[in-house]
Amino acid sequence: MALITPAELEKELKSAITRNVYYIYGKDAGRVSALAELVRRKYLGKGYTASDYSKFSGDEMKVSTFLDTAEICPMFTDWNFVEVNDLNGESLNADDLKALTAFIADVPDQTVLLFSVTGFDVKGGKKVPTAKNKKIIDACTKAGSVSEADLRKPADMAGEIMKLASENGSSISKQNAEKLALICLGDTLRVTNETDKLSSYAGSDEITAEMIDEMVAVGIDTTAFAMASAVTSGNSKAAFTILDDLTSGKTEAVLIISALASAFMDLYRASAARASGVKEAEVEADFGYHGRGFVVRNAFRDAAKTSTAHLRKCLEILEKADLECKSTRLDQKIIIEQSVAQMLAAGNGA
C-alpha cells in the first residue's frame, strides 16, 4: 500500500481507512510507541485490555505459533489483532522468513498485524534496512502501511509541544518549545514527560524559559552533545549559542571540555562503527551504554554528517584545550571559544 510519514499515519488512523498490516520503526522509540498505541485504539477501542489481543516479543517468538494465532477467526471481537514487538528479521532462518512474508502478503480479512520496533535498529547502523528486515518491510509496504519515526529537529516538535501544553491548560511560546525539544534531544517520550511536568507546575500560566531552566535536567552531557551535533553539522551559530549556555554558569572549563570530549568520543565510535559495518546494538553492548541507547542512536545519526578524520581532529583540539586549561593562566572561556572555532574550521577543510 504505502510507505508514509508518521504524520500521514496519524491522519490515516483517524480516518475510516483500515489496513491489515502496520509496520512502525525508527530512532524515536517514543513516537513509535505512541503510533502503535493509536493503531491499537483504532481497532480495539480506547478501553481495550491485554486480553483483547495477542502480543509477541520478537526475540522469543516462534513463527509457526505466530502464524497459527494470526489465522484465528475472531469470535467475540471485530478483529483478530496480533502485535509483534522487536522482531529482527536477521534472527529468522530462510524458511521462517519465507513463511512470514508469504502470510503478510495474504492476511485474512479479519486479522490486523502490528509490527513495532523500539529495541533495535532495523538498518543495522546503515542508511537502509538490513536484507532480511527489508524483506519484511517490503512485504508490509505492499500489504499495508509502513512508517519510520526518525528523531525530529526542535523546530519540527515545537508545535506538538505547544499543543500538548495547551491541552494541559497552560501555554508555551514557540521559542521555549524549541528550547525544550533541544534539551530532550528530539526524544518524544522525554518531551511529553517534561511538558506534562512543566504544565503541572505552571498551571494556567505560561511555561517560561526560567521554568525550563529550573525544572528540566539539562545535564552538561546533553548540552555538550548538542554542541557536538552543531559542530558536525557545520552550524556555527548554533554552536556558539550553545557555548554561551555552557560557559554562562559556574561549571569549570575542564569539566566542559571533558563533557565535549565524551560527546565527540561517542561520535567517533559511531563513525568508526558505521565504516566497519558494526551495528548500534553492538556498540551499545561493547562500550557499556546500557540504558543509554538513545546516545548511540543519536551518535550514529550525527556521525553521518561528517568524516571520521574530522572527529579525530576535534578530539585532538579538545586534548590540547584541556592541557592549556590545566597548565596556563589564559582565560579558560577564550580557550574553549578558540577550540570550538577550530573544530568548525576543521570541518570546512581548514
Q: What are 47-82's pLDDT values in tens digits? A: 888 889 999 988 889 999 999 999 998 887 889 999
Segments making up each domain of the chain, as ranges: 2-148, 154-206, 220-347
Q: Which residue has the higher pLDDT, 198 or 120?
A: 198
The DSSP call for residue 49 is -
Assess whether pLDDT exceeds 80 at residue 188.
Answer: yes
Q: Which residue has the higher pLDDT, 22 or 181?
A: 22
pLDDT at 230: 87
Q: What is the pLDDT of residue 81?
A: 96
Which of the four pLDDT bands, split at 50, 70 and 90, describes residue 139?
Answer: very high
What pLDDT score does 64 carry? 95
Contacts of 217 (CB under 8 A, 6+ apart): none
Counting Cα atoms < 13 Å in the Cβ hemisphere of 197 gives: 13
Residue 124 has a pLDDT of: 79
Q: What is the pTM of this model?
A: 0.60
Residue 318: pLDDT over 90: yes
In DSSP terms, 25 is beta-bridged to 148
pLDDT given at position 219: 60
Helix, strand, or coil (residue 82): strand
Paired sense of beta strands 2-4 and 145-148, if any: parallel
- Cα dist from 49 to 20, 32, 38, whole Å: 20, 20, 14
Closest CA to 132 of 141, 144, 119, 123: 123
Nearest Cα to Cα of residue 222 among 189, 271, 186, 196? 186
CA dist., res. 341 & res. 236, Å (int): 8
What is the gyration radius of the CA atoms in the chain, in angstroms?
23
So what's the pLDDT on residue 290?
Answer: 65
Q: Report the CATH architecture of 2-148.
A: 3-Layer(aba) Sandwich (3.40)
The residue type of 127 is K
Percent of the chain with pLDDT over 90: 50
Domain 220-347 class? mainly alpha
Q: What is the pLDDT of residues 90-106, one digit of tens each?
A: 999 999 999 999 999 99
Q: In Å, what is the CA distance from 197 to each residue of 74, 166, 183?
A: 41, 13, 15
pLDDT band at 155 (very low <50, low <70, confident <90, very high): confident
Which grid coordinates belong to 212? 525550563
Q: Which residues pair with 113 in a beta bridge?
A: 21, 82
Q: Are 304 and 275 in contact (CB under 8 A)?
A: no
CB of 22 closer than 8 Å to CB of 115: yes
Question: Is 220-347 in the same CATH topology as 2-148?
Answer: no
What DSSP character marks residue 51? G
Q: Which CATH class, in words, describes the domain spanning 154-206?
A: mainly alpha
| Arithmetic mean of pLDDT, 286-295 | 73
Chain mean position to CA 151:
4
Average pLDDT for the chain: 88
Q: Shortest CA distance to 115 belongs to which of 150, 72, 145?
A: 145
Tell whether the model's pLDDT for residue 205 goes beyond 90. yes
> Quick one: pLDDT at residue 249?
65
Cα end-to-end distance, the chain, whole Å: 48
pLDDT surpasses 80 at 191: yes
- Return the amino acid letter for 324: E
Which residues, in sequence order, are bridge partners of residue 81? 112
Instruction: Count CB-CB contacts under 10 A for residue 327.
Output: 8
User: Among 98, 59, 60, 66, which Cα is nearest to 80's?
Assistant: 66
Residue 24, beta-bridge partner list = 116, 147
pLDDT band at 286 (very low <50, low <70, confident <90, very high): confident
